[in-house]
Amino acid sequence: MIDAYKTIKQASEGTYSELRSKFLAFAHPVTTVEEAMALVEQYQKKFYDARHVCWADMLGAERTTFRSNDNFVPYVPQHTFSAVADFRQPLSNDFVRAITVGANFSGAGKIMWNEENTSEQGFYGLLGAHLMFALFDDMTLDLWGKNLTQKDYDTFRFVSMNRNYAQRGEPCHFGIDLRMKF
């Protein structure tokens, strides 16, 4: 426990501008959670067109009551991840020169689909794999599959006229690529 602590004496505010964005900051001395939340609501009403709102409060010298909230920028995943592994085995064959086996995993999320952060998609991951044959010196044949776990996900979502619309991600699918060098 701390014997003394510092706090602000009066309300203060600041602004910062970069490119075409303007950032507003407000600090107020409060003694209760209710006071803090009333100020957050007041500023949300005053700046109703703000695209990004975050707040934090810490009450008391013991610093045991600390809360924060941050709405996230819509349509931008909070995290993305990708991993790829390939194994290539050269062969001493006139027709098939090498075989490559590979797998990949990519993920994205959590994604907010509106500025109020009331519509969201959690983190999702997609698994893919391929088998490639190097034929002769100038040709490859690649057999591949994407979304092998048949994960359902949205690539885009929005609301218009009180109706939800979404573009679904691609289901499990397979393909063949033949490449030739001239």
Condensed to tens digits (0 to 9), the pLDDT of residues 28-84 reads: 888 888 888 898 888 888 988 877 778 787 777 776 777 777 777 788 898 999 999
Contacts of 151 (CB under 8 A, 6+ apart): 124, 125, 126, 169
Euclidean distance between CA atoms 57 and 37, whole angstroms? 9
pLDDT band at 109 (very low <50, low <70, confident <90, very high): confident
Q: Is the pLDDT of residue 167 over 70?
A: yes
Condensed to tens digits (0 to 9), the pLDDT of residues 112-166 reads: 888 777 888 999 999 999 999 999 889 999 999 999 999 999 999 988 888 889 9
Q: Is the pLDDT of residue 85 over 90?
A: yes
pTM: 0.64
Q: Is the pLDDT of residue 100 over 70?
A: yes
Mean pLDDT of 90-119: 90
Q: Is the pLDDT of residue 90 over 60?
A: yes
Q: Is the pLDDT of residue 1 over 60?
A: no
**Residue carrying structure tokens 């397979």:** 174
The confidence score (pLDDT) of residue 48 equals: 83
Domain borders along the chain are 12-70, 79-180
**Within the chain, where are the H helices?**
33-46
Contacts of 153 (CB under 8 A, 6+ apart): 121, 124, 126, 168, 169
